Amino acid sequence: AQSVSQHNHHVILSEAASLELGCNYSYGGTVNLFWYVQYPGQHLQLLLKYFSGDPLVKGIKGFEAEFIKSKFSFNLRKPSVQWSDTAEYFCAVNARAGGGNKLTFGTGTQLKVEL
Amino acid sequence: ETGVTQSPTHLIKTRGQQVTLRCSSQSGHNTVSWYQQALGQGPQFIFQYYREEENGRGNFPPRFSGLQFPNYSSELNVNALELDDSALYLCASSSEILAEGAHPAFFGPGTRLTVL
């Protein structure tokens, strides 16, 4: 069974600071990888996804993530955060073979961006 | 804003009761998954329906059951409610399941269930 670890539970940054949120997964096979964001009072939204190809993927709102297979990692980055990025961020994986559309989520990282 | 809708928004039940939650998929999506998100946790997979049949189940007891209808809408039923069932229940829809894996899931706003 796959599992996902997000090491930072709470992150506080000032506007314009750079962001990196860690995500490691545990699974022996091929996976699809996702980052979802949940803004206050809103539903989960897809930020970006990795299925195959270029391990550096770009998502919405200036976010990007890099898949490093040897490290089982899929860290989320943004060069300069904005106050509106305040939200909870979830990393999720899906097992490529036989996983259907089941997503395994990490516990989430609460990001607060201060003005 | 996705096309996935859920009802009701909030629900309060007492221990031992039964509850039915509803979900309408995004147009063109024939796969529905249900997740339970407890406070401070990430969503946990309950089960998935594809073309009206259960297609994958997480680590939840049989008192969690579901249905998918021909129009791809879905229900989640929970019998004999327990206090620990208090959570946000999320529905997610996606398009065809392919052998190589998932299409992104689009989530609804959730139903907040409180069990007293």
What's residue A97's pLDDT? Answer: 61
Q: What percent of chain A has pLDDT over 90?
A: 75
Contacts with B41 from chain A: Cβ below 8 Å: 107-108
> How many Å lie between the alpha carbon of A29 and the closest alpha carbon of chain B?
12
Residue B100's pLDDT band, with cuts at 50, 70 and 90, is very low
- Across the interface, which of A44, A104, A106 has its CB nearest the CB of B45? A104
Residue in A with minimal Cα distance to B94: A101
Tell me: pLDDT of B39 over 60. yes
Give yes or no for residue B102 having a pLDDT over 70. Answer: no
* Three-class SS of B77-109: EECCCCHHHCEEEEEEEECCCECCECCCCEECC
> A97 vs A5, which has greater pLDDT?
A5
Q: With an 8 Å Cβ cutoff, are B56 and A102 in contact?
A: yes
| Unique residue bearing structure tokens 């809708």 | B5
Torsion angle of alpha carbons B22, B11, B60, A26, nearest 10°?
Answer: 90
Mean pLDDT on B79-102: 81
Give the gap in angstroms from C-alpha A18 to the nearest C-alpha of chain B. 24
Residue among B92, B81, B88 at smallest CA distance from B116 = B81
Cβ within 8 Å, pair B105-A103: yes
Sign of CA dihedral A111, B93, B68, B96: negative
Question: What is the pLDDT, as a whole number, of residue B50?
Answer: 84
pLDDT at A72 over 70: yes
Residue B29: predicted pLDDT: 82
Q: Identify from A101, A102, A103 which residue to disrupt to test chain B contact, counting B C-beta atoms within 10 A and taking the largest count.
A: A101
- pLDDT value at position B56? 85
Characterise B8 by phi-psi region: left (phi > 0), alpha (psi -120 to 50), beta (else).
beta
Residues 6+ apart with CB under 8 A from A65: A23, A33, A35, A48, A50, A56, A57, A59, A74, A75, A76, A77
The rounded distance, in Å, linking the Cα atoms of A97 and A44 is 25
Q: What is the reported pLDDT for B99?
A: 40
Q: Does any CB of chain A come closer than 8 Å to the CB of residue B66?
A: no
| Cα–Cα–Cα angle for A23, B92, A102, rounded to 5 degrees | 55
Q: Are A20 and A65 in contact (CB under 8 A)?
A: no
The alpha carbon dihedral of B82, B84, B86, B89 has a sign of negative
Write the pLDDT tens digit of every residue in B54-83.
Answer: 888 889 999 999 999 998 899 999 999 999
Mean pLDDT of A88-93: 96
Q: Within an 8 Å CB–CB cutoff, is residue B107 touching chain A?
A: yes
Give the residue from B115, B53, B108, B45 showing the smallest Cα distance to B87.
B115
Averaged pLDDT for residues B17-24: 97
Residue A29 has pLDDT above 60, yes or no: yes
Percent share of chain A, pLDDT over 70: 95
Minimum-distance CB partner of A32 among B2, B45, B101: B101
Mean pLDDT of A15-22: 97
Taking residues B95-116, what's their average pLDDT?
76
